[in-house]
Amino acid sequence: MLGLLGVWKSTGLVSSLVFPSCLKAGKGFCPSLAQAFPATVKFRRRFCASLAEVKPAASTMASAQKKVLVPIGFGIEEMEVVILVDVLRRAGSDVTVASVETDLQIEASRRVKLVADMLISNCTEEMFDLVVLPGGMPGSSRLRDCEILQSITKKQAADGRLYGAVCAAPAVVLETWGLLKGLRATCHPSFISQLSSSLTVGSRVQRDGIVTTSRGPGTTMEFALSFVEQLYGKEKAEEVAKPMVMRTKGNSELVKQEFNRVEWSFSTTPRILVPIANGSEEMEAVIIIDVLRRANADVVVASVEETLEIVASRKVKIVADKLIEDASSSAYDLIVLPGGMPGAERLSKTESLIQLLKEQAESKRAYGAICASPAVVLEIHGLLKEKNATAHPAFTQKIADQSAVGTRVVIDGNLITSRGPGTTMEFALAIVDKIFGQEKATGIAEAMVFPYP
């Protein structure tokens, strides 16, 4: 009997077993049973005490790894893709990025080149806990026209498993496929009229049963975290959100501080270098590139590795425009570093990049960094000397001047720094504001459905 109970306990089944009252600890114990089964009686208190340590089977199921499908195609919104993949992988999900094109590599809406894990045709036999569609145009149309994806998503809905879409995709894809009938839904403001349901809402994130929809790049972190909560629970969602440095209600931290103000103005289209490495934070890299390209800046993405393709911190594969050796022969109006580990360390060890940054500072041209990079790159190489700066909370102790480390975005003369993935949108928009003016930054923020300033 004891051996069998040990098996039941180890499998979690013991929480659902019912024992007669005479076996329970406390009063009302049966004397005759005590005489007949003395070993069992001695065991009862040890066994009942151990019940408090046994986790219910439901809890074990809730924490199990979930399978997620994120399809991509030409013209997809790269910020939405990367945020969804990154956040869900932070939660422990097994995320498959699947191309609806004939090739794994696609070029997204702001010309960021992403590489999928597999083709959508290889996903037909898989069962997913969640299918979630990024938006962007014409990317949403490419998803809509993929018959395999349509079949997968309709089966997902029919089986009662989670699905969702953001930006243009709720209207262009889910509405077209008949997967929003009678459901409360939202989408990007530019596509809201295409939702035929009378239940259309303006919420940033809208959940109705097994379907969740959202509005745009500026709402995608909230959207992704809503799936973390649905798949793993509220506690897990809060655990994932905290190190991302998300903006929260009632948070007293300053959004932006500027010291030693100087003008960042250029007579021609500003040329901006964004170096990336294996282990760079993909959300930070892609948001910076995307937002600055929305402002029509000339953004050069340069790999510090031996190949153009890098594998970022949450295994998103990004293809750079150039190798750093080829990019370092040019001058830039701004050099801005994403963070992430070990990506920041790899940037810090790239001699040609450090030389560019030192020349940038000496020439009083703009440079900046976010997350780990202000501490791991700029501070180490003397590029924060006599400067106010911030960094990710895990790295702020390495910043010499602590006076502004709690601020989300810090500008000091030609330097700009920020804290993490959850501050990257503000960081990129602050750069647009400095270069092109607040009106331009506000217009871009509005199109992304993000509050600025």
Active-site residue, 167 included: yes
| Residue type at 436 in one-letter notation | F
Q: Give 23-43 pLDDT, tens digit per residue.
A: 333 333 344 434 444 444 443
Domains 67-244 and 256-448 share a fold: yes
| Residue type at 86 in one-letter notation | D
CA distances from 276 to 258, 307, 319, 321, 390 (A): 27, 11, 9, 10, 20
CATH code: domain 67-244 is 3.40.50.880
Tokens for 414? Answer: 């030609």
Distance CA 324, CA 384 (A): 23
Q: What is the mean pLDDT of the chain?
A: 88
Class of domain 256-448: alpha beta
Provide the 8-state DSSP code for 171.
I
> Tell me, what's the pLDDT at 390?
98
> Tell me, what's the pLDDT at 102?
98
Q: Give 51-101 pLDDT, tens digit per residue.
A: 333 334 434 445 589 999 999 999 999 999 999 999 999 999 999 999 999
- Asked whether the predicted pLDDT for residue 6 surpasses 50, the reply is no
Strands (E), 232-341: 256-259, 271-276, 298-303, 309-311, 317-319, 322-323, 334-337
Of 123, 146, 167, 187, the catalytic one is 167
> Tell me, what's the pLDDT at 63?
58
Parse the chain into domains and list their residue ranges: 67-244, 256-448
What's the rounded mean pLDDT across residues 202-223? 96
